[in-house]
């Protein structure tokens, strides 16, 4: 079956630090990959996505590259802000009707001023 593994937090960084959140996956076929973000008390928002190998998704300064050879989709940002504090979820969608999205366990990111 499908699975997503991501580093668990909390991850605490200082403002303007470089961020990497690791994500690896196991899936049959060629899934689409996503990063979702959940701010405190809110629902999930799509942060970025990639639908095929070597695609790079980017949004709000965040980037992730679909690496088929390493089955990875690591999230990076060059300079984080306090407002980036949230829970980040890596997810995959393989198109199975009953499967929906398979999520990682989420990484709680805390940015200190």
Partner 1 sequence: DTAVSQTPKYLVTQMGNDKSIKCEQNLGHDTMYWYKQDSKKFLKIMFSYNNKELIINETVPNRFSPKSPDKAHLNLHINSLELGDSAVYFCASSAGTGRMNTEAFFGQGTRLTVV
- Interacting residues with partner 1 (CB under 8 A): 29-32, 34, 36, 38, 42-46, 49, 51, 87, 89, 93-103, 105-106, 108
Residue 76 CB partners (closer than 8 Å, separation 6+): 18, 19, 20, 21, 62, 63, 64
Q: Closest approach of Cβ 76 to partner 1, in Å?
A: 21
Q: Closest approach of Cβ 97 to partner 1, in Å?
A: 4
- E strand or H helix that includes residue 27: none
**Complex with partner 1: residue 29 or 113, whichever CB lies closer:** 29
């Amino acid at each position: 079956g499908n699975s997503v593994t991501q580093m668990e937090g909390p991850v605490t960084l200082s403002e303007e630090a470089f961020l990497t959140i690791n994500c690896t996956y196991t899936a049959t076929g060629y899934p689409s990959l996503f990063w979702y973000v959940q701010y405190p008390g809110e629902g999930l928002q799509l942060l970025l996505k990639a639908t095929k190998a070597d695609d790079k998704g980017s949004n709000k300064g965040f980037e992730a590259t679909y690496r088929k050879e390493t089955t990875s989709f690591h999230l990076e940002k060059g300079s984080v802000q306090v407002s980036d504090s949230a829970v980040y979820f890596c997810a995959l969608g393989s198109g199975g009707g009953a499967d929906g999205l398979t999520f990682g366990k989420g990484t709680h990111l805390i940015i200190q001023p």
